[in-house]
């Protein structure tokens, strides 16, 4: 089982990344999220330029968003998404922010894996099993890419 794996995609050019105040001026697509993570994060469209740049790396149509996480995420499984997605952290939100995967949602759960993700690196992340994001001290900003229909998103090798 792979929980988190660095993948070989290029760093996102800085000029394609919006400032936080621009990002949060857009509509929050997660505003009505009422599950465990509701209110802990917001989801925003990326610019057309960033979308086109990132889409060129994927075979299938990708859903590419900014995630702005303002509070540590309680244990959850991402709803309605593929088992893996691609994440690129723009801003870590603290020096010790860890993503932790568990074997169950129950109180008696055991930790399967912990990861301190680096900024400016692409990761393939398992989001189909219970996980948390802990130790947030500030705002964590991520670019996330997944497929539209729940199937895996394939990276084009060239
Ligand atoms: Fe998640």
CA of 112 to the centre of ligand 1 (A): 15
Domains and CATH numbers, the chain: 4-147 (2.60.120.10)
> Three-state DSSP class for 130?
coil
CA of 60 to the centre of ligand 1 (A): 22
Average pLDDT of the chain to the nearest whole number: 94
CA of 76 to the centre of ligand 1 (A): 6
Q: What is the pLDDT of residue 148?
A: 80
Q: What is the pLDDT of residue 158?
A: 61
Alpha-carbon separation of residue 157 from 13, 85, 111, 123, 137 (angstroms): 19, 17, 34, 16, 37
Per-residue pLDDT tens for 39-88?
999 999 999 999 999 999 999 999 999 999 999 999 999 876 678 899 99
* Between residues 56 and 33, the one the model is more confident about: 56
Distance in angstroms (rounded) separating the CA atoms of residues 130 and 100: 9
CA of 49 to the centre of ligand 1 (A): 26
Number of Cβ atoms within 10 Å of the Cβ of 38: 13
**Considering the entire predicted model, what is its pTM?**
0.94
């Amino acid at each position: 089982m792979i929980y988190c794996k660095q993948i070989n995609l290029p760093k996102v050019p800085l000029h394609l990344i919006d400032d936080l105040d621009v990002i949060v001026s857009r509509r929050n697509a997660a505003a009505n999220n009422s599950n465990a993570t509701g209110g802990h994060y917001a989801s925003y469209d990326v610019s057309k330029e960033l979308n086109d740049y990132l889409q060129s790396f994927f075979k299938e149509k990708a859903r590419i968003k900014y995630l702005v996480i303002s509070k540590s995420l309680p244990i959850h499984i991402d709803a309605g998404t593929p088992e893996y997605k691609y994440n690129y952290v723009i801003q870590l939100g603290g020096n010790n922010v860890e993503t932790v995967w568990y074997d169950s949602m129950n109180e008696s759960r055991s930790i399967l894996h912990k990861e301190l993700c680096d900024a400016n690196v692409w990761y393939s992340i398992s989001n189909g099993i219970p996980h948390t994001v802990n130790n947030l001290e500030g705002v964590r900003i991520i670019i996330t890419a997944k497929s539209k229909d729940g199937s895996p998103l394939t990276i084009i090798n060239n």
